[in-house]
């Protein structure tokens, strides 16, 4: 072994020794409970396709309806959903929750397929009723122990982002074949809702 090899070996040993000092799991500046609260909340609305489909469908339908429904529906939905979540947390029962969730996908999917243009006075209460079912289902499933505010923030932000995703997809409406694409997507939501409805009765 030459002198150069010894130098390199020692240098490598020194670097390795330095590397092993780096801790793997630091979470140095955050409270574990708080961070789990936010990310748990963020991941909850995307934990089931029945919820994902309906929330994206709200954005899609809003995009088809255009302003002001485009932004009023995503304002109304989180508030009603949180109200449903509150009822679920407080243990106040709501009948036919699973059926209501499945029905939301079926109805919204149908509206997208048929380009149904309801007035705001009908569309807002309808979407809020659907949101109430989704929120109640989430509320009864919420895991105790996490930070309430951070969890709620994550939960609401994820819901809003799903609506925004739906609105973003709805932007293809102006493109050639865009309406056909949207109808196909609406058909997918409708089929998904039907599947969940069958599951609710099974």
Partner 1 sequence: MRRSAVGVLLAAALCAPTPSYAHLVNSGLGPFYDGALHLMLTPMDLVGLAALSLFVGSQGAGAGRLLVIIAPLAWLLAGAVALYSRVDASFAVVNAGSLVLLGGCIALGLKTSPAVAAVAAAVFGGLLGFQSGLELRAAGADWVALIGTVAVVLAVTLLISALVVSYTAFAFRVVLRVLGSWAAATGLLSFGWIMASGAS
Question: Applying CB under 8 A, which residues contact partner 1?
Answer: 3, 6-8, 10-11, 13-15, 17-18, 21, 28-29, 34, 71, 74-76, 78-79, 81-83, 85-91, 139, 142, 144, 147-153, 155-157, 159-160
**Considering beta carbons, is residue 62 or 100 the nearer one to partner 1?**
62
Min separation Cβ 149 and partner 1, Å: 4
CB count within 10 Å of CB 31 equals 11
* Least Cβ distance, residue 89 to partner 1 (angstroms): 4
Rounded to the nearest whole angstrom, what is the least distance from the CB of residue 11 to partner 1 in the complex? 5
- With CA atoms as reference, report the closest residue to 73 among 62, 85, 81, 63: 62
Alpha-carbon torsion 114, 120, 122, 125, what sign? positive
Residue 18 or 122: the one with the smaller Cβ distance to partner 1 is 18
CB of 114 to partner 1, least distance (A): 27
CB–CB of 135/82 below 8 Å?
A: yes
Q: Which element (helix H / strand E) includes 64?
A: helix 49-65
Give the separation between CA 57 and CA 170, rounded to whole angstroms: 9
């Amino acid at each position: 072994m030459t002198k150069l090899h010894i130098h390199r070996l020692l240098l490598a040993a020194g670097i390795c020794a330095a590397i092993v000092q780096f801790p793997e799991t630091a979470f140095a500046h955050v409270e574990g409970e708080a961070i789990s609260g936010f990310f748990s909340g963020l991941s909850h609305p995307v934990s089931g396709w029945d919820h994902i489909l309906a929330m994206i469908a709200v954005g899609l339908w809003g995009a088809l309806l255009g302003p002001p429904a485009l932004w009023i529906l995503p304002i109304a939905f989180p508030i009603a959903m949180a109200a449903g979540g509150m009822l679920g947390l407080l243990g106040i029962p709501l009948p036919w929750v699973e059926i209501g969730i499945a029905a939301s996908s079926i109805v919204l999917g149908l509206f997208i397929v048929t380009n149904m243009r309801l007035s705001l006075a009908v569309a807002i209460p309808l979407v809020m009723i659907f949101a109430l079912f989704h929120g109640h289902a989430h509320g009864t499933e919420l895991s105790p122990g996490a930070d309430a505010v951070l969890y709620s923030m994550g939960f609401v932000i994820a819901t809003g982002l799903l609506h925004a995703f739906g609105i973003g997809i709805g932007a293809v409406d102006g493109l050639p074949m865009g309406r056909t694409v949207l109808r196909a997507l609406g058909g997918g939501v409708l089929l998904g809702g039907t599947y969940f409805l069958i599951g609710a009765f099974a």
